[in-house]
Structure 1
Amino acid sequence: LIWTADVAAYFVGKKFGTVKLSPDISPGKTVQGMYGALISGAVCGVILSLIFKFPMMIASDFVLLSALTVLVSIYGDLFFSVVKRQRGVKDSGSLLPGHGGILDRIDSVVAAAPFFYAGVYLIYRSIS
C-alpha cells in the first residue's frame, strides 16, 4: 500500500506537480503527488476489498483506512525528513546509493504500519 502510494506520488508529481507540498522540508514533494498517492491508496483498498470479498460496509471502512494510512505515511516521511535536516544528515546510510539510505525506503512504513494495524484491528473488532 505505502510503496504503491510512493510510486504513484512520484509519477503523478513528475507529470502534474506544480505546487510544492513542503519545500523547506522535502523540496521534491508536490501537492499533486500527494493527491496521486491518496487516490492510489483508495484504489488499493478497493482492489483488496474486491479480492477478499468484503461486505460493503467493511469495504468502505477499509478504503477509508487505506487512504488515511497513505496520509499518515506522507506525514511520517516528512517527519523523518525534518529530523534528518535538524541533525544535519543528508543520507541515513549508503546501502542504497542514490536513495538517501535505507531509512528513506521505510520511513513511511514505520509511521503508517501502526496506524494501519490499529485500523484493521478496529474493523475486525467491529464485525466480531
Structure 2
Amino acid sequence: MAGANGYLLKEESSENLRQSIIETLSGGAAMSAGVALRVLNLLRNPLPVKNAETKDYGLTKREIELLTHLKNGLSYEQIATNLFINYETVRKHIENIYRKLQVNNKLNAVDLVTKNRLI
C-alpha cells in the first residue's frame, strides 16, 4: 500500500532475484510465495478502518461539493458557473474550507479530505 512494485524475501535465490528484477522492470509485480499469500489474505479480509482516523472538519455539504469540483481540476470560475453562484461566493467558500482544514492551498485541501474519505 506504500507504493512497492514487488516484495521479495531475503531467502530468494540469486537467479530468482535476477528474474524478479527483470519482471518488475517490465511492469510485473514480483513477490515471494509467502508474501503473495499475505497479500491475498489482506485482499480477502481487509483490515478494518478505524473511525477515529477520519474527521469531517465541520465541512458543509456545499463545501464538500466545492472540494469535489476542485479535485476534478475545475477553476473557481468553472465552479461558480456549474453551481450557479458568484465567483466571490466560491472564493469565500474556499477561504472557509482552508480555515476549517487549516491548510493554505487547493492541493493540501483536496489531499486532506481525500485521505479522510470525505470526497
TM class by shorter chain equals under 0.3
Bigger Rg over Cα: 2
TM-score for the superposition, normalised by structure 1? 0.24
> Which structure features the higher share of helix residues?
1
